[in-house]
Amino acid sequence: MTWLFREVYKNLYYVLPAGLQAMRRIFVVCFLLCLGLISANSAIAANLSDNLLKQPATEVTISLGNSANELKFEPDHLEFVPGKRYLLRLTNPSQLKHYFTAKDFADGIWTQKVEAGKVEIKGAIHELELKPGAEAEWVFIPMKPGNYDLHCSIPGHTEAGMNGEIAIAK
Ligand SMILES: [Cu+2]
């Protein structure tokens, strides 16, 4: 019996470090594989966004209010297709200040830029305020399909009918 235990112990002693070494080798290989996958993915993503940014933008116009000062969006329904590049032109032909508020929609798109006057804003945007006579251009790529709420957050305007819907198709 003592002999048997000694044999098992001796074998364990020899086998264990070899096993650990194999595990370490497997770990290193997995790690390198992961690194490779990550860099390949970011290369694909860079290529994709490069191609997307070269894509001519489809122009869509929405008017916040109108010259008769009616409290509505014209049109009050917008529809976009994921993966396409859009230029949304916002105008305010009324004598009142209005908001383009569509937070969930803004979360479902990738904003390239918003241009207003001589200023270009990059990055995420959730809400735009347009003073009377103002114009802005929003360049983006829809990402997440869904139906999103649009409204004007000036007190009383939503209730008076200044709301709409933005759809990103599936
Ligand atoms: Cu309004």
Question: pLDDT for 104-157, tens place per residue?
Answer: 999 999 999 999 999 999 988 999 999 999 999 999 999 999 999 999 999 999
Instruction: Tell me how far the alpha carbon of residue 4 lies from the centroid of ligand 1, in angstroms.
Output: 88
User: What are the structure tokens assigned to 76, written together?
Assistant: 């009050």
Please provide the average confidence, as pLDDT, over all residues in the chain.
Answer: 84
pLDDT-derived band at 102, boundaries 50, 70, 90? very high
Does the global pTM surpass 0.85? Answer: no
pLDDT-derived band at 169, boundaries 50, 70, 90? very high
| Mean pLDDT to the nearest integer, 47-57 | 78
For residue 46, pLDDT over 90 is answered with no
For residue 29, pLDDT over 50 is answered with yes
Ramachandran sector of residue 65 (left: φ over 0; alpha: ψ -120 to 50; beta: rest): left
Instruction: Tell me how far the alpha carbon of residue 47 lies from the centroid of ligand 1, in angstroms.
Output: 40
Instruction: Tell me how far the alpha carbon of residue 99 lies from the centroid of ligand 1, in angstroms.
Output: 6
For residue 86, pLDDT over 80 is answered with yes
39 vs 122, higher pLDDT? 122
Q: Which of 9-18, 31-40, 117-126, 128-137 has the lowest mean pLDDT?
A: 31-40
Q: Establish how many alpha carbons lie within 13 A of residue 111's alpha carbon, considering only the half-sphere containing its beta carbon.
A: 18
DSSP codes, 67-114: TT--S-EESSEEEE-TT--EEEEEE--SSS-EEEE-HHHHHTEEEEEE
Return residues with CB closer than 5 A to ligand 1 (ion): 98, 152, 154, 157, 162
pLDDT of residue 32: 47
Radius of gyration of the chain (CA): 29
Residue 127: what residue type?
E
pLDDT-derived band at 13, boundaries 50, 70, 90? low
**What CATH number has the domain spanning 58-168?**
2.60.40.420
